[in-house]
């Protein structure tokens, strides 16, 4: 459950996929087809044991305290990993260099 679409996420997770990104690289992405800034994600999720956050945001619901939630996370499984991502990358990879680089890293190409 999410409060509202997010126009930014935090890269301050220490995860290898976000190393080297600048503080504002995951804020205000421009969608060239719609010719406007669009949300990066609609939903977030809670992390269970074993999941490591990659990108995070916050969640606040009426009557509940604000808490950190995940936008993207990784679960190591044997020699591989499962990546769960709520981030909308497709509309941005051509026009937003950080989106393109992050997509490359998720796909194991960066």
Tokens for 64, please give them. 């509940």
Tokens for 70, please give them. 């995940």
Distance CA 88, CA 74 (A): 17
Percent of the chain with pLDDT over 70: 95
Q: Are strands 36-37 and 67-77 parallel, antiparallel or unpaired?
A: unpaired
pLDDT tens digits, 37-52 = 999 998 888 888 899 9
Mean pLDDT of the 2-29 span = 90
Q: Residue 76, Cα to own-chain centre: how many angstroms? A: 18
Q: Is the pLDDT of residue 4 over 90?
A: no
For residue 8, what is the DSSP state? B
Distance CA 48, CA 1 (A): 16
pLDDT at 59: 76
pLDDT tens digits, 56-94 = 988 777 677 777 889 999 999 999 999 999 999 999 999
Distance CA 69, CA 96 (A): 24
pLDDT at 35: 96
């Amino acid at each position: 459950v999410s409060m509202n679409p997010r126009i930014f996420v935090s890269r301050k997770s220490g995860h290898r996929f976000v190393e080297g990104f600048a503080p504002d690289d995951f804020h205000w992405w421009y969608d060239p087809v719609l010719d406007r800034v669009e949300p990066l994600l609609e939903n977030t999720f809670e992390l269970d044991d074993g999941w490591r956050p990659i990108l995070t945001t916050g969640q606040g619901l009426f009557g509940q305290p604000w808490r950190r939630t995940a936008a993207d996370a990784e679960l190591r499984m044997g020699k591989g990993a499962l990546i769960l991502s709520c981030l909308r990358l497709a509309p941005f990879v051509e026009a937003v260099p950080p989106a393109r680089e992050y997509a490359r890293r998720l796909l194991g190409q960066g």
